[in-house]
Amino acid sequence: MANSKLDRCLLEFLQGEAQIRDAYSELDNELISKYAPAFKIGRIEFVEYANVGDEATGKAQGKYTYYNSPDGAGKDCESLSGIKIMGGSFNFRTYSAPGVIWSDEEREYVRLFMYILSAAKGRIRTNERLEHVMYHDMQTGFYNLNYGMRIIRRIEKLGRISEYASFYLNVKGMSDVNASIGRRNGDKALRMYGKELENVIGPDEVFWRFGGDNFGAFILKKHVDDFLNIIKGRDIRYGIGPRDVVHMSAVAGVYMIDEKIDSHFDVVDGASVAFPIAKFRDRMPYVYFDTRTMEIVERNRHIEVYFETAIKNEEFVVYYQPKVSLDDGKLIGAEALCRWQHGGELVPPVNFIPVLESSFRVCDLDFYMLEHMCRDIRMWIDKGMNVVPVSFNLSRKHLANPRLVKDIVSVIDFHEIPHNLITTEFTETVKENDMMRLENVVKGLKANGINTSVDDFGSGYSSITLIQKVSFDELKIDRDILHLTGEGHKRRLILLRHIVSLANELGMDCIAEGVDSAEKIKLLKSLGCTRAQGFFFDEPLPKKVFDGRLLKMNYDMTI
């Protein structure tokens, strides 16, 4: 075979295809159209398969015509099939020009032409798929952080970075969504919610997935309000059924970028720094990154780093808030509350408990509190003082501990404390798995003679379900229900009356928190609630002051 003209055409075609970067570019079409006539080619068809096995079943991902001669095509045909490429495959069909039957030499050139074309397309397709893997999240199909940083770097080079804002967001309650509608539907709902967010942005912006339920975004500031509206919540339809709808929302850190960034990494870091603070806020699901945010972050970081040292130095101290009988003013118990003596100041729990709640450090603090209150009870017993039952709070984080009951009993027994002097307080929980674990823990504690209490009753949505499934000894009414003035006070009064009645009928001791006036005491007594704690009697007291209350044992109930 020696045809210098066709050899030159093949060489030029090979060199041209080596430069092609896009399988469907105009340059590629022009190149094929230029050289196909030299080989008497009338039409070139290309079929692509997503998976290797699809070719045998004819399930094509795409069919394309690369070249069509203006004069049409003949019947002579050469095929090239089964060309594998990153999990998939493709094949070519090349037809002769009208009325042409290729000679053996011409057919060989046509095959070489097809080999060059297939090698070029295989290279392009491989690069495209590698790029897709590099820049996409395989589970959801959204872009990943690599692609996000690619866009951020490009905008930074254009000097437009101050026109943008970045987001770090977490979709709320995905475990509950999955438990409610199933993981497959949950994944679909997650993708649909992500699409809602993605639809807000334009070509010079990007939305990506970090992993799990966490996402990021780099968007123009003019789109921030639209983005935040979706973060606040959307009803997402995940199926065709009338009830195939779930409400989804998120919490987010937001960084309104200025021109002072030192690196494009600051764009992502600013939003991620603000994000943890947003998790602790109830009414506003997002936090902007600013100087105040940095101060909070630094404070939280100090708490986390210094926590073990504070435990070792016994900087956390137990304060006791009395529980009082409204019938006769007798001291009937106390709640152990944590305070932190640090740097010459008494740090309120609102400044450190939420930080410790974000990890399992709060579990160490709870057992520290149990240990120290047992020491105090032991001392009161040994001194022959009056002793009342003391309650302490347990975080829901403890429910992951299968030895929780044994660990609690072990501390109590080490100090030889009668079990009836200890009450464990649990806050409401809405997760079904937590509810089941809580039920088992409460049963285990009761079997050991340790009383249990549900704290802040009426503050959440699972109140009735909780006391229906779990047999607590005590019900503590949330202090907000005792607000007797302002909007909704009549509804709160009705709710209060029914909570007291419900507790009494279920045989639970009912105690009201936040009692700070004679008016509230009169109301509670009229409704049948005869136990209370609050500032009307005492604020939380250091041990030495509470010792004096144990000696006195009675409060003046003249009102």
Crossing angle, helix 183-198 and helix 224-232, to 10 degrees? 160
Same domain, 304 and 282: no
Same domain, 262 and 333: no
Same domain, 150 and 239: yes
Is 557 a domain residue? no
Is 384 a domain residue? yes
Is 64 a domain residue? yes
Q: How far is CA 497 from the centre of its chain?
A: 37
Same domain, 201 and 261: yes
Same domain, 125 and 250: no
Q: Quote the pLDDT of residue 465.
A: 75
Give how far Cα 420 sits from Cα of 225, 308, 556, Å. Answer: 55, 31, 27
Which of 233, 254, 289 lies at the terminal end of a domain, its last residue?
A: 289
Is 558 a domain residue? no
Same domain, 313 and 408: yes
Which of 135, 158, 189 lies at the terminal end of a domain, its last residue?
A: 135
Write out the residue range of the structural domain in which residue 353 sits: 299-552
Q: How many whole angstroms separate alpha carbon 551 and alpha carbon 331?
A: 10
Q: How many whole angstroms separate alpha carbon 482 and alpha carbon 476?
A: 12
Structure tokens at 504: 């009494």
Count of domains for the chain: 3
The DSSP symbol for 479 reads G
- pTM of this structure: 0.63
pLDDT tens sequence for the chain (559 residues): 467 888 888 888 888 888 877 655 677 788 889 999 999 999 999 888 877 677 777 787 778 888 999 999 999 999 888 777 666 778 889 999 999 999 999 999 999 998 888 888 778 777 777 777 888 888 888 999 999 999 999 998 888 999 999 999 999 988 888 888 998 999 999 999 999 999 998 889 999 999 889 999 999 999 999 999 999 999 999 988 888 999 999 999 999 988 676 666 788 888 888 887 777 666 678 888 876 777 777 777 788 888 999 999 999 999 999 999 999 999 999 999 999 998 888 888 888 888 888 778 999 999 999 999 999 999 999 999 999 999 999 998 898 899 999 999 999 999 999 999 999 999 865 566 678 889 999 999 999 999 999 988 876 655 677 888 888 999 999 888 887 777 777 888 888 899 899 999 999 999 999 999 999 999 999 999 999 999 999 999 999 999 999 999 999 887 6
The SS3 call for residue 94 is strand
Q: How many whole angstroms separate alpha carbon 442 and alpha carbon 61?
A: 57
Same domain, 476 and 532: yes
Same domain, 285 and 303: no
Which of 289, 315, 333 lies at the terminal end of a domain, its last residue?
A: 289
Same domain, 460 and 486: yes
Query: Which among 540, 554, 457, 465 has a CA at the least distance from the CA of 500?
Result: 457
Is 559 a domain residue? no
Same domain, 482 and 532: yes
Q: Quote the pLDDT of residue 299.
A: 78
Same domain, 169 and 266: yes
Q: How many whole angstroms separate alpha carbon 412 and alpha carbon 447?
A: 14
335, 425 Cβ separation under 8 angstroms: yes
Backbone angles phi, psi at 282, to 5 degrees: -85, -45
Is 417 a domain residue? yes
511, 323 Cβ separation under 8 angstroms: yes
